[in-house]
Chain A
Amino acid sequence: MRARRLFVVLTCSVLVAAVFAATSLGRSDKNGSTTAASGTVVLSGWGASPDELKLLKQVLRGFSKTYPNIHVDYQPITGDYVPAMLAKFAARKPADVFYVDSNVFLDWVTQGLLEPLDSYAQQSKFSSKPFYPSLLNGFKYKGKIYGYPKDWSPLAMEVNTDLAAKAGVKPASITNWATLTAAARKLRGVMPSGSKPICLSPSWDRALAFVYQNGGTFLNATKTKSTVNSPAAAAALNYYVGLIKQGLADIPAKLSVGWCGEALGKQKAAIIFEGNWLFPFMTSTFPSVHFSTQRMIMQKQHGNLAFTVSYSMAKDAQNKPAAWQLIRYLVGRPGMATWTSKGLALPSRSDVKPVAGRASFLADAPAARPWQFAPRFSQVIDTANNELSAVIEGKESVAQMLQKVESTANDTLSK
């Protein structure tokens, strides 16, 4: 009798254990996640071009096949992205997953708007090692990861090959400031009226690359003090503005274009410094313009800027397990491979190869520093850009500009 009771108890225990194990297995998906994710997840970003949208939808279709229980509601934001997102955060109704530009990341994370992703990554054994460290660092705050870079681009130098050939300039020979000036001088003779050899943007998101090339910096390593008022930065900016003063370059407004990419397309300039975003623009708008792309020029060292955007999760996300699965898929190897397959964006993972012809961009990956400074720094960049315009217009000297920019930056850092 006792043996029979023991048998029944044992059988029941085994059955309970089996049911528990089966349930646990059911909850753990094939990618190693321990929580079952289902329901709807809202994905937001700024408006994409038709080509980008096509690729994103392709990636999302792949996600739906892998996670049939999760429905992705893609809600792009048209217009000014940052204010629209802040309004949603303030209403406590943000999208679950969204784009965060490295430029605004520190503002958003210090306001407590983003969810740290380390525990999700740990739980699902998601490795952050394949990501380029300088890009991933752009989305780390106090040692925690708040987003994974979805793609990136440094600046490169693009040269109109037809105009260069006409002027007898070999684009590959332009490697530093001296050779750039020499090439611009040669190009000046073949440029049509109303155009200039080089197009330079009157903003620090281009000029700072020249500062880095000359060994200058904007902030110290701990980001507690501005170091921009230095001889290295002054020399770089004098060179940058000097190209305009010598008539070898001009700003987009003076060339009657919105940005330097348009100047290359309309042949208003033969040399520009833009990122990977130039390719889809040129293919769709100016397919007949021939140009070469090469690594950004250098001076004392290689120096470049990295523009990157992450997929992040909102602290107030409604469906966090599903949001994590979506982020993991989008920045994972298959998702990123699809997203970058047409060359519209460069992969931020070293284990995903970019399309052919992008070697010049990848070469700068170690030298490129994220376009990111400190919280509430937009005011400083506004001041810096306005001062640069004043210098270009001859209303101020480079030394005066650097003094003002450094003082504004230090004021902001001390608050």
Chain B
Amino acid sequence: MSATAAAREDRPGRGFGSERVREALVGYLFIAAPMVLYGILFFYPIGYALYISRYDWGVLGKIDTVGFGNYRELLHDHRFGIAVKNGLKFTLAFTICSMALGLFVAVVVNNAIRFRGFFRSAYYFPSIASSAAITAVALFILSADGLFNQITGFDRAWFGESGTALWALVGLNSWTTSGMVMLFYLAYLQSIPTDVYEAAAIDGAGAWRTFWKITFPLLRPGHFFVSTLLVIGGLKMFDQAFIASGGSGGPNNSTLVPVLYLYRVAFYDVRFGYAASVGIALMLIIFGLTLLQRLTFGRTDAN
């Protein structure tokens, strides 16, 4: 091969390379703006929280350097322990209940039933309503002489007793979130190829068997996605616990969840450094749990 021919052959290669670079540059340019915003709104606050978590930090700034003192204190903080335990209890129950309810509703409204559109909108409605308003209404319904007790015959102040307050929150949140879960599951249900169902029908599988042997396993990516969202959302739950307990996390710490504890440490004890260490610890817990989910549910999804 002559030198000229070699050079000619090289050209398309170089051209391809520069095109790739140009394409990549355009791509990076497109994501630059959101990444800058992401950096300002996420990475900077996380970095800043890490920074102030090493100080006794007051309203007007640094008071004293404590190094890892805040983290050491966190390890022995009884109320933080209660908050994490409550947070995990809530998240586990809320994730399971929301997924079960959301999936059930999704399967129902995925069928060709009459007024399907209406039911889909109706089930999704609690997800778009204000959580503060819904919690306020729930406080009335679940009060000692509220509607719920009058219908069921119970005699309990559901938010007023430490044995039931957290579970009342689980019920409330599962119901409000199930609409969103239904929407995600609907999308995943519609992505399952119909020929699998046809094959099952030919083989004589009933509805129950079809659901457990085909629908449920094929929704695995959906389970991963939905459960990840719910676990993160569950551990970050704040507003309902704040409203239901009047901001105290009571009765008897039963609704004290990690973010509510962080809020109280920051704004009522005026300990921003310590509150930042609570935030970092919470971030690590969420990150760890998400990783765990990825390693269990997500593996097949990746394959």
- A-to-B contact residues, CB < 8 Å: 80, 82-83, 86, 89-90, 92, 104, 107-108, 111-113, 194, 202, 251-256, 376, 378-379, 382-383, 385-387, 389-390, 393, 395
Contacts and interface: CB of A to CB of B under 8 A. Distances in A.
A254 B160 CA distance: 7
Interface of B: 58-60, 79, 143-146, 157, 159-163, 247-253, 263-271
Contacts of A387: 252
Quick one: which of B159, B249, B266, B270 has the most chain A CB within 10 A? Answer: B270
B159 A389 contact: no
B248 A385 contact: yes
A389 B250 contact: yes
Contacts of B144: 194, 253-256
Contacts of A378: 264, 268-269
Contacts of B249: 382, 386
6 contacts: A107-B269, A108-B270, A111-B270, A376-B270, A378-B268, A395-B162
Contacts of A393: 161-163, 251-252
Contacts of A390: 162, 252
B53 to A, nearest CB: 17
B162 A389 contact: yes
A82 B268 contact: yes
Contact of A256 (B60, B143, B264, B266): B143
Contact of A111 (B59, B79, B143): B59
Nearest to A375: B270
Nearest to B61: A90
A253 B146 CA distance: 11
B251 A389 contact: yes
Contacts of B146: 256
Contacts of A255: 144
A182 to B, nearest CB: 27
A254 B162 contact: no
A112 B79 CA distance: 28
* Secondary structure type dominating chain B contacts: loop
B162 A379 contact: no
Contacts of A254: 144, 157, 160
A253 B251 contact: yes
A115 to B, nearest CB: 14
A83 B161 CA distance: 27
Given A253-B160, A253-B161, A387-B252, 18 more contacts: A80-B247, A80-B267, A82-B267, A82-B268, A83-B267, A86-B270, A90-B59, A90-B60, A92-B60, A112-B58, A112-B60, A113-B59, A194-B145, A256-B144, A386-B251, A389-B250, A389-B251, A393-B251
B60 A89 contact: yes
Quick one: which of B143, B249, B263 has the most chain A CB within 10 A? Answer: B143
A6 B269 CA distance: 70
Closest 10 CB pairs of A and B: A253-B160, A378-B268, A83-B267, A389-B251, A253-B157, A389-B252, A256-B144, A256-B145, A390-B252, A256-B143
Contacts of A376: 269-271
Contact of A386 (B145, B160, B252): B252
Contacts of B251: 202, 253, 386, 389, 393
A378 B79 CA distance: 13
Contacts of A83: 263, 266-267
B145 A89 contact: no
Quick one: which of B58, B163, B266 has the most chain A CB within 10 A? Answer: B58
B115 to A, nearest CB: 37
Contact of A107 (B79, B248, B263, B270): B270
A385 B270 CA distance: 19
A113 B60 contact: yes
B59 A386 contact: no
Given A386-B252, A389-B252, A379 B59 contact: no
Contacts of B159: 253
Contacts of A389: 162, 250-252
Contacts of A383: 79
A369 to B, nearest CB: 21
B66 to A, nearest CB: 11
B272 to A, nearest CB: 8
Nearest to A193: B145
Contacts of A89: 59-60
Nearest to A202: B251
A382 B145 CA distance: 27
A257 B146 CA distance: 11
Contact of B160 (A107, A251, A395): A251
Contact of B250 (A80, A252, A379, A386): A386
B258 to A, nearest CB: 15
A111 B57 CA distance: 10
A111 B263 CA distance: 18
A255 B163 CA distance: 17
Nearest to B265: A379
Contacts of B263: 83
A389 to B, nearest CB: 4
B162 A86 contact: no
A390 B160 CA distance: 12
